[in-house]
Amino acid sequence: MSASAPITPPVAPRIPHVTVLHGETRVDDYSWMRDRENPDVLAYLRAENDYTEAITKPTVALQDTLYQEMIGRLKEDDSRPPERRGDWWYYSRTEQGKAYPIFCRKRGTVDAPEEIYFDENAEAAGLEFYNLGGFDVSPDHRWLAILEDTNGYEDFVLRVRNLETGAWLDDRIENLGFGLAWASDNQTLFYLTTDDAKRADRVWRHALGDARSSDVEVYHDSDVRCNVGVERTRSGAYVCISSASFTTSELWLIDAYQPSAAPRVVAPRVTDVEYDVAHGGAWLYITTNRDGARNFKVMRAPVQAPSAWEEWMPHRPGVFVEDVDVFARYVVVQERRDGLRRLSVTALADGTPHDIAFPEAAYGVDLMRNPEFDPPALRFLYSSFVTPPTVVDYDLTARTRVIVKQDDVLGGYDPSQYAIERVMAPARDGTLVPVSMVYRTPFVRDGARPLLLYAYGSYGYTMEPTFASSRMSLVDRGVVFAIAHVRGGQEMGRAWYDDGKMQHKMNTFTDFIDCAEYLLGERYTSRERLSANGGSAGGLLMGAILNLRPDLWKAVVADVPFVDVINTMLDDSIPLTAQEWEQWGNPHEAEAYAYMRRYSPYDNVEAKAYPSLLVTSGINDSRVAFWEPAKWVARLRALKTDANPLLLKMHLGAGHGGASGRYERLKETAFRFAFILDQTAAAVKP
């Protein structure tokens, strides 16, 4: 990128902060940026934003073109398929020009008059940011409980609306975490509070109409590694409290019809044993890795004796059990084989299993809410790189499926013009790493196409090859979009995750580099056309590969990047730190520090050439503090020896997820895409 006159980048003051850890002297010139009350910090962030705006001014027209294309593919006036819950049909819809959904319902039949019971646009009016962290209608359909966030920091406010009158109750409880559950008496709510590090650690019981001072603490977990959650089972019989670290879990059940009853533990926690519970009839179905079941298996136990586990589905080394959904007459197991999710259905009457098959070589499928315990059909959402999101009702008895709705993609979208490819790239240790790709046809492997390689690679999160209409603005310009399913996710099973964390974390970074090398060697692209993108923990990946192999990439986009790994992991007052010692290690320990020191992006910036880099963040981010990317950019700017663009775009009114409305989010996407297209010299017209 260039402008008509030289533009001087901001220079952050260097104020050395010296510490000694495990015999190493550590100098942090930019630790002063942690003080958000310091006016110099805000001035610096604004200067970076001004610089980014000036440098990217030549792409403003392209940004607008991309944004208009993305809007042009959306059916702005649209609705989701109605979902039956008892006598009511619930759905949401969107209207042209409105950034947020409108929540509606009809009583009796889908042809009944519409009732708007929550208009998110009205609640967000006049606010720069608005997001819901909980949204739950009571079992008798009379009350709506929400958790709302108006600044992006994820400190939620509980509010309750009477759906018969539309009036908000006086019940208003602030500073809450994610998680909300109604008891089956329709008068009791369970919610979560957090500790000073924003770890959900307590469950509270609230009776409608009572003051917060009357609320009862139901559960507290003092273990700083564990996050607490709460939900009501699909059967409506129990409120389930979970407490889990990344390696150990424990669940408690409360009779949902007697919400003041004491919780009962399902099974006491055992170090390195994880389990989850779904209720069906007289049984609890338990997904667990107990007894060496690394890829998990399914047990069951009588509800009256929840610790008396017996095997229901044995461990299978080649099949990773992700989740179990229990209904009145069927159990649906979500499992992963050969990197792709499958749905396995078992009839409880006779134990007969069968699989639901899917047609494409690479795809994503997710069970939808399915709130009824004895539904006429199983509803799931299917898509691929070229197939738009498709809601399917699957008859569990007849084994037939009906497409309820497929998202319309406007603007002349034709899926036959694109191809999906899935390849296995060899990593340096011989491991084969899946790479999913989509591109416009015809395609010749001559190195001429730009390619954007994306990955996340942490926490066991699986990156599915699913559809995004906005992505077509890249693909239609010749860009190959690829996901590297690197170790650290769970695409290939639990071992895939374990081999990309703690003392094996380097595999995540080298896998990504090796995937890029493979794609270059196979002539899918060239170095002058290769870009990379990742966010949050995927932003850590971006920072690591920039230090390890800066020569590979023409451009990199790092969104809300976790890059100041050691300093953050040393400070357990920061949200998430203590829990994440089981992901990255605890740098207070010499061995963990030494390993982390090898890859921590901020600690490994050197005086050398780096590719073009765009970094995004939000000042209210509670998951990756804004100062991490700010410090990283300042250190890069001070040390790098190249003249490539280095840009920081700091949202001063949002948090980890960026803007909250659908239109503002598309503008942010258009900004990123314009940077990538400009840097990789891709065609600016589709």
Alpha-helix residue ranges (DSSP H) falling in 502-579: 506-521, 537-548, 565-570
Q: pLDDT of 240-288, one tens digit each?
A: 999 999 999 999 999 999 999 999 999 999 999 999 999 999 999 999 9
The structure tokens listed for 88 are 């009511």
In percent, the amount of the chain with pLDDT more than 70 equals 98
Residue 576's pLDDT is what? 87
What interhelical angle do 662-680 and 60-73 show, nearest 10? Answer: 130
Q: For residue range 588-639, what is the model confidence (pLDDT) as tens digits?
A: 999 999 999 999 999 999 999 999 999 999 999 899 999 999 999 999 999 9
Give the residue with greater pLDDT, 394 vs 574: 394
CA distances from 42 to 311, 433, 657 (A): 57, 42, 20
What is the β-pairing status of strands 102-107 and 115-119? Answer: antiparallel
Reported in sequence order, the residue ranges of 584-634 that DSSP labels E, i.e. its strands, are 612-618
pLDDT at 5: 53
The mean pLDDT of the chain is 96
Strand partners, 160: 145
The stretch 301-321 carries a mean pLDDT of 96
Task: Work out the average pLDDT over 59-71.
Answer: 97
CA distance 15 to 31: 8
Length of the chain: 686
pLDDT at 4 over 90: no
The pLDDT of 640-645, averaged and rounded, is 97
Cα distance between residue 12 and residue 639, in whole Å:
12
**Three-state DSSP class for residue 410:** coil
Domain residue extents for the chain: 17-71+416-680, 318-408
pLDDT at 442 over 80: yes
Active-site residue set: 536, 621, 656
C-alpha radius of gyration, the chain, whole number:
25
- The model carries a pTM of 0.95
Predicted confidence (pLDDT) per residue in 524-566, tens digit: 999 999 999 999 999 999 999 999 999 999 999 999 999 999 9
Specify the 3-state DSSP secondary structure of 611.
Answer: coil
From the candidate CATH numbers 3.40.50.360, 1.10.510.10, 3.40.50.1820, 3.20.20.70, the one assigned to the domain spanning 17-71+416-680: 3.40.50.1820
pLDDT higher than threshold 50 for residue 1: no
Using pLDDT thresholds of 50, 70 and 90, give the confidence band for residue 684.
Answer: low
pLDDT computed for residue 361 by the predictor: 85
Confidence of residue 683 (pLDDT cuts 50, 70, 90): low
- Confidence label for 462 from pLDDT (cuts 50, 70 and 90): very high
Rounded Cα distance between 129 and 47, Å, is 22
pLDDT at 473 over 80: yes
Beta-strand pair 320-326/310-313: unpaired
Contact 590, 620 (CB under 8 A): no
Phi, psi dihedrals of residue 605, rounded to the nearest 5°: -65, 135
Q: How far apart are CA 146 and CA 153, in angstroms?
A: 16
Give the number of other CB atoms < 10 A from CB of residue 560: 26
pLDDT confidence tier of residue 642, bands split at 50, 70 and 90: very high
The pLDDT of residue 656 is 86
In the structure, what pLDDT confidence band is assigned to residue 2 with cuts at 50, 70 and 90? very low
Each residue's pLDDT tens digit, 196-216:
999 999 999 999 999 999 999
First CA to last CA distance, the chain: 21
Cα–Cα separations (whole angstroms), residue 534 to 292, 342, 509, 540, 647: 33, 26, 12, 8, 16
pLDDT in tens, 31-64: 999 998 999 999 999 999 999 999 999 999 999 9
Token pair for 254: 């409360």
- Percent residues over pLDDT 90 in the chain: 95
pLDDT of residue 655: 87
Nearest partner of 654 among 668, 640, 674, judged by Cα: 668
Structure tokens at 87: 């006598």
Q: Which of 55, 63, 47 is nearest to 6 (CA)?
A: 55
Bridge partners of 182, per DSSP, are 189
